[in-house]
Amino acid sequence: MKTKNLNSIIVLGMIATLGILVAQLLWTNQAFNLEEKKFTQKTHIALLEVVKKLYEGKGSELPSNNPVEKVANDYYIVNVENDFQPDILEFYLKTEFAKMNITTDFEYAMYNCQSDEMVYGNYVSFTDRKPTSHTVYFPKHKNLVYYFAVRFPNETTYLLSSLRFWFILSFALMIVLFVYVYSIYTIIQQKKYSELQRDFINNMTHEFKTPLSSILLASSYLNKQDAIRDNKKLHDYTEIIINQSKKLNHHIEKVLNIAKSDESPLALQPEKLQLLPLLQEAADSIRLKNDQLVVSINASRDYTIEADRFHFSNIIYNLIDNSVKYCDVTPNIQITVSEDRNGLRLDFSDNGIGVAPKNLNLIFDKFYRVADKKSNEVNGFGLGLFYVKKICTQHQWKISAQNNKEQGLTISIQIPKKSYEQI
């Protein structure tokens, strides 16, 4: 993905996540205000019912004006205009608050005409947990004589507890935001390291190519000299230098191609190809290097596939070559061509050392090599199977690997029906 597109996605994602978080906080605040308003309304109704009961007990008529006044968020004054008993008042308060589902602690006080001050009544707890030491100031009202005051000391905590869901959701969104920011940071760091790695590989391989070209040029010139040709030992040594230099040059080209393909897909030129001749050609080519190699191609008929000739040949060559490299006995490779409901299937089965189950999903990763004795003996950069999978992906084919029941590994390529036809 291009850096510009990645940055745009990051910015849009951050804006969206922050927007959701801000909206959630605003909704939570609005929900708190709504709960506070509902609590006030329920308290007002309950206190009106208490006044009604007190008047009915005295056989008096209810006052025409509203006797309930909210002085503060948690403090109410109720004008009764008639004397009343504290225990009756407490009973009515408990009853009416319970009816309105007000289950938070409250305390009340009454005005005493003789002392001209508010007399503390009682602290009523719904949880049976009264405070050990509690002193509360109830301010008196100037123009009232028979009245009482009610205070809810835990109103804010009570309202917040009713909004548990909103706070949990807000907390979850904050965690999501944190995870998102951390993920983006990790992606940026990984992209940075990947770019550094690619630049290092490009610089390293280019630096290797210059002296390697000089070695190839000098050794080729040296091998043509009569003195070298006449001396068999010197001639063999020169051939070794040339062959190993070509092999190293091949590895460097492979590394360069893989590094280049990280930035953009490899250019493919699909064409109609006969499958079996290509398989046989690759097998014959590798058999020239290993006389004991046995390659069996099992197919009921030939097929025409749509693929890039060069890269598909490389796929076959890489898979067979890998089977030969990672084998402790005489290599025996079975290539099976079959059809199933998903399309055409190519199975490359060998009798090699196989792969540990925990490493099986990693063999197609770039630069990955299984850490074992055989891998240390075999030269390579861990790019062969990565290249194979990349080409299969660009062809829209599927590739997988699994260990055989007895010995060796089977790598399967699944070609969809639209990409082949029978001959």
pLDDT digits (tens, 9 = 90+) for 142-157: 777 778 889 998 888 8
Number of Cβ atoms within 10 Å of the Cβ of 365? 13
Separation of alpha carbons 43 and 191, rounded Å: 60
Residues 246 and 154 in one domain: no
Can you tell me the distance from the alpha carbon of 242 to that of 224, in angstroms, rounded to the nearest whole number? 12
172 falls within a domain: no
14, 57, 189, 202, 258 from 245: Cα distances, Å:
52, 112, 37, 19, 20
**Within a domain: residue 412?**
yes
* Residue 279 shares a structural domain with residue 412: yes
Using the predicted structure, report yes or no on whether residue 129 has a pLDDT greater than 70: no
Average pLDDT, integer, range 325-333? 85
Residues 221 and 289 in one domain: no
Statement to judge: residues 112 and 232 lie in one domain: no
pLDDT (mean) for 399-414 = 89
Check residues 47 and 178 and name the one with the higher pLDDT.
47
178 inside domain: no
The tally of domains found in the chain comes to: 3
| CATH number of the domain bearing residue 320 | 3.30.565.10
Do 53 and 27 share a structural domain? yes
So what's the pLDDT on residue 413? 93
- How far apart (Å, rounded) are the C-alpha atoms in residues 295 and 348? 10
Does residue 169 fall inside a structural domain? no
Sign of CA dihedral 258, 263, 268, 274: positive
- pLDDT band with cut points at 50, 70 and 90 for residue 181: confident
**Predicted confidence (pLDDT) per residue in 184-236, tens digit:** 778 777 777 777 766 776 666 667 777 777 887 888 888 888 888 888 888 88
pLDDT in tens, 81-109: 777 788 888 898 989 988 998 888 888 88
369, part of any domain: yes
Question: 115 with 207, same domain?
Answer: no
Domain membership of residue 174 (yes or no) is: no
pTM of the model: 0.47
List the one residue out of 23, 78, 26 whose CA is nearest residue 54: 78
Q: Where does 51-160 show beta strands of DSSP type E?
A: 68-72, 75-79, 106-112, 117-124, 147-151
Q: Is residue 233 part of a domain?
A: yes
Same domain, 255 and 290: no
Write out the two tokens for 206: 């280019």
> pLDDT band at residue 385, thresholds of 50, 70 and 90?
confident
| Region of poorest pLDDT, from 196-200, 275-279, 308-312, 347-351 | 196-200
Joined tokens for residue 106: 């409250």
Regarding whether 302 and 393 lie in a shared domain, the answer is: yes
Q: Are residues 218 and 327 in the same domain?
A: no
Looking at 236, 263, 290, the residue that finishes a domain is: 263
Q: Is residue 179 part of a domain?
A: no
The residue from 145, 161, 177 where one domain ends is 161
Q: With 90 as the cut, is the pLDDT of residue 245 above it?
A: no
pLDDT of residue 345: 92
Domain of residue 399: give its range. 270-422
Q: Cβ(208)–Cβ(252) under 8 Å?
A: yes
pLDDT at position 347 over 90:
yes
Whether residue 70 sits in one domain with residue 14: yes
- Higher-confidence position of 272 and 355: 272
Q: Return phi, psi of residue 21, to 5°.
A: -65, -45
User: Are 91 and 154 found together in one domain?
Assistant: yes
Tell me: do 289 and 399 sit in the same domain.
yes
